[in-house]
Amino acid sequence: MTAGLPPPPGPDPAPPAGDGGGGSAGARLDVRDLEIRIGASGPDVVSGICFEVPAGEVLGLVGESGSGKTTVALALLGHARRGLRISGGEVRLDGTDLLQLPAGDLRALRGARVAYVPQDPAAALNPTLRVGTQLREALKVHPGVVDDPGGRVLEVMREVSLDPTPEMLRRYPHQLSGGQQQRIGLAMAFCCRPSLIVLDEPTTGLDVSTQRHVLDTVRSLCRSYGVAAVYVSHDLAVVGGLVAEVAVMYAGRIVEIGATAKVFGEPLHPYTRGLLAAVPSPQRAEVLTGIDGQPPRPGRRGPGCSFASRCGFAVSACLARPPEPVLIDGRAVRCIRVTQIRSADTGRPAAVTAPSAGGPAATLSLRSVSARYGRAQVLSGVELDVQPESCVAVVGESGSGKTTLARCIVGLHSNWTGEITFDGGRLVPGARDRPKETLRRVQYIFQNPYTSLNPRKTVGQIVAQPLEQLLGLPYRERAERAARVLEDVSLGSDFAGRYPDQLSGGERQRVAIARALVVGPDLLVCDEVTSALDVSVQAVIVEELRRLQRERHLAMIFITHNLALVRSIAQSAVVLRDGAVVEAGPVEQILEHPADPYTIRLIADVPKLAAPGPQQEAGGAAAAGAAAP
């Protein structure tokens, strides 16, 4: 379905940007061999960064945490964070190397010729200054760049769809919504009509519809002003719909760079392939494959390719020297085995979906559940059924009440009315009033793995604790069961002696899962359990959950705002909006034939990535954003 999809980006599938080979004359931004180090002579954080962006074009810079993409983004303005130093390379804007400019000239350039749109607009706006002051400031510190600053302020506000009223300008940042704050950020960037804009994940944390709007605004502004732009993101689907060319970063280097259609359609670098295989698709229920392990930190990157230890194609030569970019098939790839990889298979197996259970009575039923926070109504008349051994996805945007729903079910929030029945018995509102047996059978996993584990306890203690509290088992048996469940979630039992701050995000979340499973529950409530994780880690965790659900015959409620994920894990879905259920049913039905206008809009606004496979060809312009059947 094509309703509401973005028009294909770019006038044509762009010729390869390649690496530093002379550079086209029309390139606005030309980056060569950019290198950034820690301190005066520490290990490098990023190196060998080369790319070009012509006027009017947007380049996507994608990567996960630790890839260095924000560091590169800031360097495009000649800025390095505290402790880092730009140690080599060139950043040429219309021919002038920013890195060589004296401080005064660089300052004059920032904001006027090259502008930055921040990731976290709430933090990037000064809480003690009015929004209008901060917006006008962008013009004030660059006198003469724009003829009519007063008029320009109103004009740019209109361009980003904000009310150009004095009342809006008099507000303080905390009086604006997240979307409005981000639009102010955009306005500040565009008001001096710069030649280059650097956008650092500008849509993180925004609602899908706001996100869509922001992306459209960015695209049209770039096009109409002939501005070159670099769009940094971890979200491949968002980037896929926006940019004509994309660079994939890993461990401080660009591992693959080329036309979006090619890079996402036929990824060649093993990391890119792994990344794309981890991105969930709303179009099909597929097995997600993540990438085990973690990227090496600066200073711990060995002599060879940084990805080798996690790479399925690695050979001994990969560990000897960092690979140089190889020009192939219209792009540059840093991999010595790229020709062999090209012929390898890329598809993902379709998931075996659990049979939607008919017959047996629902494990969990909600009828007319309404909840309040103080005086505010957060849920109204929610109805829900979870069949045994099946997974129900609860989908909604922020403020929809999905987390409150989860907390009511489990007893963390007790200000609700209605009926929640578990295995035939009614549940009382507060967890404190529930018998231990009930508490044991319904388990909850929190969103943030960094706050759900007590930093002063070892993994072993954390996982064994529910056995003591809910089952009263003796020490020896607790230790045994804890060790077994740790093996089950693919953590070795040697993890038992470690403390949470020694673990990565994915590992911590596995510990949280282990803790939930150790008591043998019947129902698992997962509250946005992958939202705080990288895409590749997310895929691993989702697959673990699926496997565990099958093996242990669990019923599961999976709460998420990510519609694409739903397909890969759930059999049925419930869409929440402002505390009420707008639509419910089997997943395929909801995603392919939505009935409610809200659902339709929600699905349409979700950025989609084309499925990897050989069907993306030179018909190409449309391919990058369109949903291929």
Nearer residue to another protein within complex by CB, 99 or 108: 108
What is the SS3 assignment for 475? Answer: helix
Nearer residue to another protein within complex by CB, 175 or 339: 175
Of the candidate residues 20, 322, 388, 399, the single one contacting another protein (CB under 8 A): 399
Based on the shown chain and the rule CB under 8 A, indicate whether residue 532 belongs to the binding site for another protein. yes
Dist. CA 351–CA 348, nearest whole Å = 9
CB of 505 to another protein, least distance (A): 6
CB of 535 to another protein, least distance (A): 8
Based on the shown chain and the rule CB under 8 A, indicate whether residue 593 belongs to the binding site for another protein. no
Query: Stretches 116-124, 240-248, 541-549, 585-593: which one binds another protein (CB under 8 A)?
Result: 116-124
Strand 391-395 relative to strand 331-333: parallel, antiparallel, unpaired?
unpaired
- Binding mask 302-331 toward another protein (x if CB under 8 A, else -) reads ------------------------------
Of the candidate residues 166, 349, 455, 492, the single one contacting another protein (CB under 8 A): 455
Tokens of 146: 């724009």
CB of 415 to another protein, least distance (A): 10
Dist. CA 572–CA 569, nearest whole Å = 9
Show contacts with another protein in window 228-267 (CB under 8 A).
Answer: 234-235
Based on the shown chain and the rule CB under 8 A, indicate whether residue 374 belongs to the binding site for another protein. yes
Strand 416-422 relative to strand 364-373: parallel, antiparallel, unpaired?
antiparallel
Dist. CA 170–CA 154, nearest whole Å = 13
Show contacts with another protein in window 468-507 (CB under 8 A).
Answer: 469-470, 499, 501, 505
Nearer residue to another protein within complex by CB, 64 or 256: 64
What is the SS3 assignment for 481? Answer: helix
Tokens of 230: 């670099």
Show contacts with another protein in window 186-215 (CB under 8 A).
Answer: 188, 201, 204-205
Dist. CA 110–CA 81, nearest whole Å = 16
Dist. CA 273–CA 259, nearest whole Å = 15
Based on the shown chain and the rule CB under 8 A, indicate whether residue 107 belongs to the binding site for another protein. yes
CB of 307 to another protein, least distance (A): 16
Show contacts with another protein in window 149-188 (CB under 8 A).
Answer: 172, 174-175, 178, 188
Show contacts with another protein in window 540-579 (CB under 8 A).
Answer: 560-562
Based on the shown chain and the rule CB under 8 A, indicate whether residue 342 belongs to the binding site for another protein. no
Show contacts with another protein in window 400-419 (CB under 8 A).
Answer: 401-404, 410-412
Dist. CA 461–CA 443, nearest whole Å = 18
Q: Which secondary structure element, helix H or strand E, spans residue 198, and what is its range?
A: strand 196-200
Nearer residue to another protein within complex by CB, 15 or 83: 83
CB of 172 to another protein, least distance (A): 5
Dist. CA 605–CA 339, nearest whole Å = 37
Dist. CA 303–CA 320, nearest whole Å = 6
C-beta separation of 101 from 115 below 8 A: no
C-beta separation of 230 from 91 below 8 A: no
